[in-house]
Amino acid sequence: MTPLLEAIEIARHFPLAGKLFRRSTRAVKAVDGVSIALHAGETLGLVGESGCGKSTLGRLLARLDEPTGGTIRFEGQDIAGLDEAALKPFRRRTQIVFQNPYSSLNPRQTIGDTLIEPLLIHGIGDAASRLQRAHDLLDIVGLRREHFGRYPHQFSGGQRQRIGIARALALEPALIICDEPVSALDVSIQSQILNLLDDLQKRFGLAYLFISHDLRVIEHIADRVAVMYLGRIVEEAPVADIYARPRHPYTQALLAAVPVPDPARRQPEVVLEGNVPNPIDPPSGCHFHPRCPLAEARCRSEMPPLVTGAGGHKVRCWVNQAEDPVVRNAWQI
Amino acid sequence: MMKASTQHEHMSAAGRDLDEAEVLRVENLAAHLHTGGGVVRAVDGVSFSLRKGETLCIVGESGCGKSMTALAILGLLPRPAGRIVSGRVVLAGVGDLAMLSAEAMRKVRGRSISMVFQEPMTSLNPVFRIGWQISEAILMHEAIGREAARARAIAMLELVGIPSPETRYDAYPHQLSGGMRQRVMIAIALACQPQVMLADEPTTALDVTIQAQILRLMNRLKTETGSSLLLITHDLGVVAQMATRVCVMYAGVIVEEADVGALFARPLHPYTRGLLAAIPTSRSGGARGKLSTIAGMVPNLARLEPGCRFAARCPDVHDRCRMAEPPLAAPEGAGEGGRGVRCWLHLSAGPVAPALEAAP
């Protein structure tokens, strides 16, 4: 089956400012050779810490930014180098929901106008059918019709995120890229939005690329999970597999660091030390080796490839290789 | 402003109130915010006690009053809108902080009680070197020389795990990562060995692996310096990992108080139960289950209805809940000490009709 969205070795390098009259040869490799596939109706969770490149990858796949290398295919068509006019059909099929719904909504526009605008831009329907569609969208996301004429400031954070989702649904997309959609919300509101996203996926067969730093949210919402570190994917696997048997030492560290809401299970003292290295000057070999207790000579000199093992479990590690029957946990004493 | 003599009398009287093991006791604290929309009862009668060596967590969602409680304790309520309207904040060896002048409070803050906030970049001064900022905190409270303060500051940087502290002493805040900045904040907070460290969402802005480092650091330093920790957070995972005791806040009041084990094993208040149930869980291989949610929204604290503040969202609401607000009291039949819940479901009716008892 052809994937809905497929990225092959895509990269986004941000060149650093050079000295006057001299071009810089250095660059921040925010996304550095990422290959990823997303099928219709599935949720791919993308996790990693600040600066790992997960949001940049999301922006590339939504074509809000142009990759500096690689290919992106959407429904079989290469969209990596298309200009804005040529991208218009793609824009109908892919939408994005941002973290902060307040800053992504126009404060001077009523909710009704916000929902009608995408239909106008794409020339869909007549005035009456657009109005009807906007009302339907309010129903779909659990808002009321009397909300139609109100402004963003009149809503709570959770309601604003519902509006953001309604706007994303207006054009009946196949894919929604959700960039930290519940990170600004309280846990009781967060659960409402996660339930809504789940309902909408079942109802409309949507695919989600769900970007989050919250591993509990990802475990709940994702079918497959990809872990990013310094611009690269270091592990990708079905959700149950990666949470039960993480192979990459970085994934193991991330999962061990999540505070478990159970005082009877106080976590071991062993946690990942240090910080994410400077992406301008990443470590040689495997980017994770300076922080990895399992690192060997080869890890310092050679970047491991992302290898696919049984059950589609991919891992980029010389020590815990994809096909090894034994997985070493880097953080167990 | 009180006269110095009265203030002193008050302080010594208040200091006697504390048990030997207590370092901080908050009694019936109320803080109001005067806004265009009316008087917001942000903290509406909060009482708790922090014991030596203990970590007390105050947990709740946005707008529940947990941060306002912290600011009221520290005498840092936003002016002129915020004001303590009643209650006492008794700190061991100091007295009632609510009665202190701004000048006197400045001498207490940073020395006997110190604070760490969510965003270290806004708490640190961007134009001064971090080492200088730590020295400054020491010099403000102790009669020691610049060189001695510098040596202490470097020792503090080392204590909080900042590599090559002599070099880092001269760094500016923007040259450090978020986790390192929060370590500097903790170094400042602990520089004068306070009895109480108050941390308001100290790891919320940090990545999960850095959060684990900072939480572990706070636990270690609490043990090493013998201070007590008042930790304010919205994250029940952090509570479970850190707390000795827990107060759950909702709409300006404490709705449940318990030892951490008891709270997670047997949450009593419907709000606590709702919060715990709303935490995303794994699907354990099967289909994605529905997450439990709490219907509705937090009430407007400027226009509270009579009765229990959670009544409008409570799945177990009954008539009594809308008539009178339940007190925070020991639940019926509870064998566990120090447990309190503000819910009619768990309180015995007693000889007096509760609606009358709670009436003003």
| Mean pLDDT value of segment B192-214 | 90
Q: Which of A49, A50, A219 sits opposite B282 (nearest CB)?
A: A219
Look at residue A108 and tell me if it is in a domain: no
B165 and B228, same domain (yes or no): no
Q: Which of the residues B241, B248, B264, B294 would you substitute to probe the A interface, choosing the one with the greatest number of A C-beta atoms within 10 Å?
A: B241
Cα–Cα dist B118/B233, whole Å:
10
**Cβ A92 vs Cβ A74: under 8 Å:** no
- Whether B283 maps to a domain, the answer reads no
**Domain check: are B326 and B358 in the same one?**
yes
Q: Kindly state whether residues B99 and B206 are assigned to the same domain.
A: yes
What's the pLDDT score for residue A331? 79
Same-domain pairing of B178 and B203: no
pLDDT of B10 strictly over 60: no
- Please report whether residue A197 resides in a domain: no
- A268 in a structural domain: yes
Task: Write out chain A residues lying below 8 Å of B276, CB-based.
Answer: 261
A-B CB pairs within 8 A amount to: 121
A187 with B281: Cβ contact below 8 A: no
Residues A261, B237: C-beta atoms closer than 8 Å? yes
A259 → closest Cβ in B234, B235, B281: B235
At B204 the pLDDT is 87
Please check whether residue B166 lies inside any domain of the structure.
Answer: yes
Contact of A289 with A303, CB cutoff 8 Å: no
Instruction: Please list the residues that pair with A228 across neighbouring strands.
Output: A233
A243/B279 Cβ within 8 A:
no
Which residues on A lie below 8 Å from B64 (Cβ)?
Answer: none
- Measure in Å the smallest separation between the Cα of A57 and chain B Cα atoms: 19
Q: Tell me the three state secondary structure of residue B200.
A: strand
Element (H, E) at B240: helix B236-242
**Is A247 among the domain residues?**
yes
Q: Are residues B172 and B81 in the same domain?
A: no
Q: What is the pLDDT of residue B281?
A: 76
Q: Let me know if residue B105 belongs to a domain.
A: yes
Please report, for residues A99, A325, B121, B150, B293, the alpha-carbon distance to residue A190 in angstroms, rounded to integers and kept in the order given: 12, 38, 27, 46, 8
Q: Are strands A175-179 and A69-74 parallel, antiparallel or unpaired?
A: unpaired
Question: Domain check: are B54 and B189 in the same one?
Answer: no
CA atoms of A13 and A21, how far apart (whole Å) = 21
Same domain? For B147 and B183 the reply is: yes
Give me the pLDDT at residue B213, please.
87
Query: For residue B186, what are the domain limits?
Result: 121-193
Contacts of B183 in chain A (CB under 8 A): none
Contacts with A190 from chain B: Cβ below 8 Å: 278, 280
B341 lies in some domain: yes
- Domain span at A241: 231-333
* Angle B291-B294-B295 from CA coordinates, rounded to 5°: 115
| Least confident range of A28-32, A52-56, B278-282 | B278-282
Question: How many domains does chain B divide into?
Answer: 3
- Picking from B224, B216, B243, B220, the residue whose alpha carbon sits closest to that of residue B232 is B243
Does one domain contain both B227 and B251? yes
pLDDT digits (tens, 9 = 90+) for B28-57: 999 999 988 889 999 999 999 999 999 999
Query: For B162, which residue in chain A has the nearest alpha carbon?
Result: A274
Q: What is the average per-residue pLDDT within B284-289? A: 62
On whether both B3 and B91 belong to a single domain, the answer is yes
Q: In what order do the strands lie in the sheet with A207-212?
A: A94-97, A175-179, A207-212, A43-47, A224-229, A232-238, A314-315, A307-308
Q: Do A191 and B275 touch (CB under 8 A)?
A: no
Quick check: B334 pLDDT over 90?
A: no
Beta-carbon separation of B283 and A269 below 8 A: no
Give me the CATH number covering residue B234. 3.40.50.300
Examine residue B315 and state whether it is found in any structural domain, yes or no.
Answer: yes
Model ipTM?
0.88
**What letter does residue B353 receive in the DSSP assignment?**
-
Please indicate, yes or no, whether residues B147 and B159 belong to a single structural domain of this protein: yes
| Residue B91 is assigned to a structural domain of this protein | yes
Nearest chain A residue to B276 by CA distance is A261
In tens, the pLDDT along A137-153 reads: 999 999 999 999 999 99
Query: B81 and B204 share a domain?
Result: yes
Please indicate, yes or no, if residue B181 is contained in any of the structural domains. Answer: yes
A46-60, B35-49, B110-124: the lowest-pLDDT one: B110-124
Tell me, yes or no, whether B12 and B93 share the same domain: yes
Confidence grade of residue A104 (pLDDT, cut at 50, 70, 90): confident
Question: What integer pLDDT is reported at residue B286 of this predicted model?
Answer: 59
Query: Is there a domain that residue B296 lies in?
Result: no
Tally of structural domains, chain A = 1
